[in-house]
Amino acid sequence: MKRKKTMILAGLAAVLASSALAFGPDQAEAKTSADFTDLKDLDAATKAKFDAMISAGIFEGVGDGTFGLKDQMNRAQFAKVAALIYGLKVDDKLKTSSFSDVKTDDPSNGYALPYIEAIKKAGITDGMGDGRFNPAGDVTKEQLATFLIRGLGKDDEAKKEEGVNDSTVSDWAKGYVDLALQLKLLANGADGKFGGTSSATRDLLVLGAYEAKAQYVPPVSPSPSVSPTPTATPTATPTPTPTATPYYPPSTPTPTVPPIQGFDVTKGSVALSSKINSYETAANNTLRIVITEQAIAVPYMGTNISTILNASFYTIGNDIKQLSSGKNIGLYEVNSNDIIVKFANITPTSDQIAEAPDHLLLTEYSDLTPGSEDGKAKFEVLVLPEGAFSWKVKSGTTDMDIPAAGAPFGGIPYTQGNNIDVSGGKTTVILVALDSNGNAVGYSVSTYSSDPGPVVEEVFHLQPLGAGVKNSLTVNFNEFLSSSTTSIEEIADLIASITVTPANGTPFSIDLTGVQTDITWFLYPGGEHLNSDEENPFSPGGGGMFILPPSLSIIIPGTSFNSGDVVRVTFKQGALKNASNSNITQIACETTVIAPV
């Protein structure tokens, strides 16, 4: 019996190979399993199936003499396989697809456009149901079962099946999987489970496609019977058999995953954050999140989380940061095979997003000054705001979190004049005023530099700034400057950063790398834009000494400033030199935005 089985397979291989011109590019160079090193250990029966599909040009290797048995096949590749095994009419001249994401200029999947259109017309799939096909997406085992059954014209039969009792198979696919198992198109795994949402590998696709090809019978319309004629004729002219009409089963949109339910959203512990509570995933499942400006579409069954851009792991109860009213959180539950099984689009309301505490007034805290030893700084003067009873500080880098208003702050208790650790690159200090319960009621963010010294606003200052959208900032100097400073023309050579600490929000930096940024020096008298000489600060015409120190106009992208925002300009170390060509120790200045009059 085994020998007979092998002969039957070999016979089918020969039939397929004889029509290789219909399936593959070059019959003369048709390959077999012997051309691939990872197929040499297959048993004879399985090898014959591979030979049939490979020699027909339906499957190819992945390069370097390997077939890629356990590699995954994407949806574009499967479209070609399905079109070939079911003998669908493929229009190679097609250049435009009915799917928005299928393009001929796609270097990876553009070749599949006519095959994709063919299987759509045949009703094997209608893509993702939203006008997309997702050609680069993986094919799951339950999707493969569905495609094979539909291609055989058994869609209605599958829908009547009771369906498999298998938790690894999605409800919508259980009838298709049941019928696929009965027809021996596919098989369960060693654990007795089908693994419906796991990605189908190439070996499964080859064997499933082979069995489907072997069982496929194109529907043929009945030939009309020949009516007898009373007049005998020597030879009756035979009635031609009508051309078989391809069977196009009705398409069924790919179903979407069910919703995540039973959770609640509350304010987080840091400014502009929320957190998700009271939800438990299924065993071995994990959560991912994505934050976007727009609402997020519900993913389809079988979607791999790797196709979701910027998805990050999430643990229930953790803060989700950098939120604002109108932003959306995509919450995905993912199984151990990285397949999305549930989803929720969450749009937090304003009462679910934590606010920042009030920004401290400049009269309530002093600039940072050097501490009693290297790597230390201190606030020499602190004045508790109304409702505050104590202080805490935390030092670190510029990306530290600001506590939420009314939330605890995990800093170090602080008294004015005490040392603050600013060693090891810690240049930012968050100062937080706490109420009697230890919750934040006010905060400030200060920058400290031990080289050349602390920020001391005495040589220059930032001109007062009114609320509204601004395209420039002005720095006024109280000393004359060296021409080595005023001759600097590139903003990147002069300015280290411009930061904005909103009155109610998270600090951010203004982008200084775009074409909308520039600097302009103004040297006086007369307000002309002139160059100076550090040793002889007279006007170039010899008319006398400059009567005013210079000012600097900094052109920035249009930025909206609100009353109470603190704007800080920090210069690059060593860029500012006075008329004696000595370094100016001050490196930064700031101002608080005032309300328009």
- Domain ranges within the chain, ordered by starting residue: 2-215, 264-352, 358-447, 460-592
Q: How far apart are CA 277 and CA 286, in angstroms?
A: 15
Span 150-189, pLDDT tens digits: 888 888 888 888 888 998 898 888 999 999 899 989 988 8
Which helix H or strand E contains 349, and what residues bound it? none
Q: What phi, psi does 287 have (nearest 5°)?
A: -115, 150
Return the CATH fold of 264-352.
Answer: Immunoglobulin-like (2.60.40)
Q: What is the mean pLDDT of the chain?
A: 80
pLDDT of residue 162: 83
**What residues have CB less than 8 Å from 262, skipping those under 6 apart?**
278, 279
pLDDT > 70? residue 48: yes
Output b/e per residue, 430-443; b: 16+ Cβ within 10 A. Answer: bbbbbeeeebbbbb
Q: Which of 466, 445, 480 is nearest to 570 (CA)?
A: 445
pLDDT > 80? residue 458: no
Whether residue 564 contacts residue 593, with contact meaning beta carbons closer than 8 Å, is answered with yes
Distances (CA, A) of 490 to 6, 459, 519: 78, 22, 7
Span 2-24, pLDDT tens digits: 333 323 333 334 333 333 333 33
pLDDT > 80? residue 489: yes
Top-ranked range on mean pLDDT: pick from 16-25, 58-67, 120-129, 442-451: 120-129
pLDDT > 80? residue 238: no
pLDDT > 70? residue 542: no
Task: Output the pTM of the full model.
Answer: 0.41
Residue 85 CB neighbours (<10 A): 23
Identical fold for domains 264-352 and 460-592, yes or no, is yes
Return the CATH fold of 358-447.
Answer: Immunoglobulin-like (2.60.40)
Q: What is the mean pLDDT of residues 225-230?
A: 55
Q: What is the mean pLDDT of residues 104-123?
A: 87
pLDDT > 60? residue 1: no
Span 370-419, pLDDT tens digits: 989 888 999 999 999 989 999 999 998 766 788 889 999 989 999 999 99
Return the CATH fold of 460-592.
Answer: Immunoglobulin-like (2.60.40)
